[in-house]
Structure 1
Amino acid sequence: MFELISGTKRLVIDSPLVMGILNVTPDSFSDGGQYSSFELACQHADTMVSQGAQFIDIGGESTRPGADEVSLDAELARVLPLIEYVAAKHDVWISIDTSKPEVMRQAVNAGAHLINDVRALMAPQALEMAAQLQVPVCLMHMQGKPRTMQLAPDYQYVVADVASFLTERIQACIAAGISREQLLIDPGFGFGKTVEHNYELLAKLQHFQQFDLPILIGLSRKSMIGELLGKPIGERLAGSLAGAMLAAQNGAQIIRVHDVAETVDVLKVLQATQAY
């Protein structure tokens, strides 16, 4: 069991929870442009909460392979109104998916409770900003940068290499003044990994329980599923649900997904079997 604390907000994690993805970007790999208008994004947030999402993960910059960076002002303009809307209307945890320190600061001030950083606070001043904000932070592993990460991923031992990276980042966070109890980890499916790397990480996800920290995973609709099954993005639901079930069985506490209702159902079935 884990407990997250963000200001006066507390969350006990004693079974796998669902994080709904809300990308307000024109170029995200799965839903790019689909929720780029404020009204549609708000409606989608409402829907995911009604379907059982305990987290809404709001992002204003795509991190898909080959993605271009966006300006600070553009990212803020995309995410801040939506954070304010969700914070005012729903009693859920709001996650800001960013690597920019200033976006972190303004997002938390607007109502975000958690920083979800694919660069694990390695951008200049990000570590210092997170320590100042004192909210939970998810540290994700990525080899390379979004634009180039899938060109030639290479590891000696992918599980050990990812674990070593996370160990270093956890130590850096603690040294900067971030409490260990405020950290989450994410092995980074699809971020600088081949299909084989991804499935080895999924099969050996229990290895990351050694950190005794909440494990967040995001493999919804990703190419690791599409390439294995030969399915386009819109036909990857079954594979995504299988991945969510396996991840939860292997120790993941937070499952980041596009398809909230279906994932909630899968986790309810899993939880029902764990009573025996």
Structure 2
Amino acid sequence: MAALSTRPSGWVEPEYTHPVRRIGGREVDYRRTIQVMAVVNRTPDSFYDRGATFGLDTAVAAGRRAIDAGAAWIDIGGARFGPGPAIPVAEEIDRVVPVVEALRDAGAALSVDTFHGAVARTAIASGAHVINDTTGIHDPSLAEAVADSDATLVITHSRAEPRQWFPKPQYDDVVDDIRAFLAERVALAVSLGVPEERIVLDPGHDLNKNTRHTLELTRRFGEFTALGFPLVAAVSNKDFIGESLDRPREERLAGSLAAAVFCAAQGARILRMHNVAESVDAARMVEAIMGWREPAYLKHNMVDGPNEDA
């Protein structure tokens, strides 16, 4: 009889070029770790919370709650991805930097979601550990700002100009096209001085993609592991979940967790999520199933006498 594999059927084991990363002052081995990136938006028009954390005190409190709930990363945004009027760079800096300054000793990796080099440089100087660029290095000075620091760069796939509408996107093969884009953007980042060991990739769920595109990239998420970098799955409460399940934004938690766990099984190691406590539990459960994390305690069927939970 053939020996049974300890790896679950369908599990994708990434082959990283640099599996151990130092982010936010801590070493992380992404071969055995799934982290949650919490979302804190200081925008009045944010996709999910509709401005609920726009106020500075509210944003800082949300970040602290997320850290207490187990978030390893806090992603702070001052301008939404979607189309709309440009946010002046000075205003975006005024939105994100005070949150970074307030949370820089709170114990999490601080990420700033921006596509402006000037915002990235100021945020890093203020204590940010990560720059999360949803435009795939639209502004080369952003990569240069990261290169001049110890920060990590998240390169995300999207196709639109910043804050511009991209009508009815088409792909020859959505996964192949995204993978080629990310590989080309990695080469650009490296040419601008960003070391490979400080690059993370995000295929960009829903960003300039329709629901069928996003379902396919989710189904084939494991193919992105061939690029050799840790992967972000930013699936939380997105429209592909709402359209798949016919659920409004406030009723997408179950679908978000299902998508996050599926992506984790396919190689995602950073889950960008709004509902932090539930997402951390999901990530830790996957780690426990994989044998990467010990159970919090052992009681069930561990005693000599009757067990009411047996």
What TM-score, normalized to structure 2?
Answer: 0.84
Tell me the equivalent position of 2:63: 45
The amino acid that maps onto 2:121 is R
Tell me the equivalent position of 1:131: 147
DSSP 3-state at the match of 1:133 = coil
Tell me the equivalent position of 1:75: 92
Q: Tell me whether 1:220 sits opposite 2:236 in the alignment.
A: yes
- Return the alpha-carbon distance in structure 1 between the equivalents of residues 145 and 249 of structure 2: 35
Tell me the equivalent position of 1:16: 34
The amino acid that maps onto 2:64 is D
Q: How does 1:39-118 map to 2 (within 5 A)?
A: 39-64=57-82, 66-88=83-105, 90-118=106-134
Give the structure with higher Rg (CA): 2
Tell me the equivalent position of 1:165: 181
DSSP 3-state at the match of 1:256 = strand
The amino acid that maps onto 1:215 is L
Aligned length: 274
DSSP 3-state at the match of 2:93 = helix
- Does the 8 Å CA contact 2:135/2:162 hold for their aligned counterparts? no
Tell me the equivalent position of 1:30: 48
Gaps of 5+ in 1: none
Which of 249, 271, 274 is the equivalent residue of 1:258? 274
Higher helix share: 1
- Return the alpha-carbon distance in structure 2 between the equivalents of residues 214 and 186 of structure 1: 9
CA shift in 2, pair 1:158/1:260, >3 Å: same
- Does the 8 Å CA contact 1:5/1:135 hold for their aligned counterparts? no
Shift of 1:6: 5.0
Tell me the equivalent position of 1:198: 214
Shift of 1:39: 1.2
DSSP 3-state at the match of 2:102 = helix
Which is further off, 117-126 or 257-266?
117-126
What TM-score, normalized to structure 1?
Answer: 0.94
Shift of 1:275: 2.3
Which of 225, 237, 262 is the equivalent residue of 2:253? 237
- Does the 8 Å CA contact 1:143/1:192 hold for their aligned counterparts? yes
Q: Tell me whether 1:142 sits opposite 2:136 in the alignment.
A: no
Gaps of 5+ in 2: 1-15, 293-310
| Cα-Cα RMSD | 1.7
Shift of 1:124: 4.7
Shift of 1:273: 1.6
Identity of aligned residues (%): 33
Tell me the equivalent position of 2:302: none
Shift of 1:68: 2.9
The amino acid that maps onto 1:171 is A
Which of 11, 16, 22 is the equivalent residue of 1:5? 22
Shift of 1:91: 1.2
- Return the alpha-carbon distance in structure 2 between the equivalents of residues 268 and 150 of structure 1: 37
CA shift in 2, pair 1:221/1:6, >3 Å: closer
Shift of 1:71: 0.6
Deviations 1:70-128 (A, max 9, x none): 1111101111111000003x111000100111110110111100110011222252232
Deviations 1:123-173 (A, max 9, x none): 252232222234210100002235445521100000000000011011111
Q: Tell me whether 1:271 sits opposite 2:287 in the alignment.
A: yes
Tell me the equivalent position of 1:122: 138
- Return the alpha-carbon distance in structure 2 between the equivalents of residues 9 and 263 of structure 1: 21
- Return the alpha-carbon distance in structure 1 between the equivalents of residues 26 and 258 of structure 2: 32
- Return the alpha-carbon distance in structure 2 between the equivalents of residues 24 and 105 of structure 1: 18
CA shift in 2, pair 1:67/1:240, >3 Å: farther
CA shift in 2, pair 1:273/1:6, >3 Å: closer
- Return the alpha-carbon distance in structure 2 between the equivalents of residues 5 and 196 of structure 1: 36
